[in-house]
A and B are shown apart, each in its own frame.
Chain A
């Protein structure tokens, strides 16, 4: 069993600059920040290192940080420009019984994160969900399609109504002839 500080030290020693820092200000567990394009390597290490053995990914959540500038686009809709999306990985080791939260942040204009589907199979649908609802691209994902929304959602929507969990999402007026707002 290792504390978050120990895990951070181990990771820092192994990966250096790919590990961006540790946030201990949160009221619950500390969060380790990782480079979004290095997260595959780090995850593989977390899973395979004999001191860590994080064999289960409890949860993978995409979050719209909404920390960019609010501007209006050509149609007069308020949109957010700049800022970041984040993905949180909640890991747990069944054998060693320790937990850790990993966070990666990627830019809003080109949200790209490495997929960890290869390491934990349970990431597959979680990543598809984050792609569907937030539009985060997971590089090297084998099957990055929409999962909850209809496959043809893009055909009936505009830029602001593509990914519903974004903070600047606007409902489209119609989908396949059905009125969407109340």
Chain B
């Protein structure tokens, strides 16, 4: 973590860069928008339930985009839905992060060829930070995706957002 290493010996005071402090706070409480799309949403639910426990990484579903930090695109994005997702994304306050979960959200997945109503990759509409492959990804894979996102947030600076 690096933040607590610089603690003074008499305790209670920690010296850190503002960057580190902000990043530490942000990466430890990634509140995701409670929002499921398709099959992957069930795996996302399984990840936040008893067996895998998303909470221990500080991930809590918030049901309004205005209080959410991250959005997990969990499933097939259709043309009809893409416009709504864009609007949800625009409602979220900065800084905001996006995990694209599953092959459908990454590139159209099994629907890439004949899916006349499927958007072939959510990155055609909004920018993506982490791609999690799989159809659907196992909960472990989603957790790994979250860890990757945390790593990314850790190296951010206030002047320049890496994502």
Contacts and interface: CB of A to CB of B under 8 A. Distances in A.
A171 interface: yes
Interface stretch (B25-33, B45-53, B109-117): B109-117
Contacts of B125: 178
* Size bin of chain A's contact surface: 10 to 19
A182 B112 CA distance: 6
Interface in A147-176: 148-150, 164, 169, 171, 175-176
Nearest to B79: A175
Contacts of A179: 120, 124
Interface string B6-34: 00000000000000000000000000000
Contacts, number: 26
Contact of A182 (B79, B80, B83, B113): B113
Contacts of B113: 182
B126 to A, nearest CB: 12
B116 A150 contact: no
Contact of A180 (B80, B83, B116): B116
A149 B82 contact: no
A176 B117 CA distance: 12
Interface in B71-101: 79-80, 82-83
Nearest to A165: B116
A171 B108 contact: no
Contacts of B116: 164, 169, 171, 180
**Interface residue range, chain B:** 10 to 19
For the residues of B in contact with A, the DSSP-based class is loop
* B80, B116, B124: residue with the most chain A Cβ atoms closer than 10 Å: B116
Given A149-B117, A182-B120, A176 B79 contact: yes
Contacts of A148: 117
Given A150-B79, A150-B80, A178 B119 contact: yes
Contacts of B108: 182
Given A178-B124, A182-B112, A164 B117 contact: yes
Contacts of A171: 116
A169 B108 CA distance: 20
A148 B78 CA distance: 11
Interface in A94-136: none
A178 B79 contact: yes
A158 to B, nearest CB: 14
A164 to B, nearest CB: 5
Nearest to B107: A182
Nearest to A150: B80
Interface of B: 79-80, 82-83, 108, 112-113, 116-117, 119-120, 124-125
26 contacts: A148-B117, A149-B80, A149-B117, A150-B79, A150-B80, A164-B116, A164-B117, A169-B116, A171-B116, A175-B79, A176-B79, A176-B83, A178-B79, A178-B82, A178-B119, A178-B124, A178-B125, A179-B120, A179-B124, A180-B79, A180-B116, A181-B120, A182-B108, A182-B112, A182-B113, A182-B120
4 closest residue pairs by CB, A with B? A164-B116, A150-B80, A182-B120, A182-B112
Interface of A: 148-150, 164, 169, 171, 175-176, 178-182
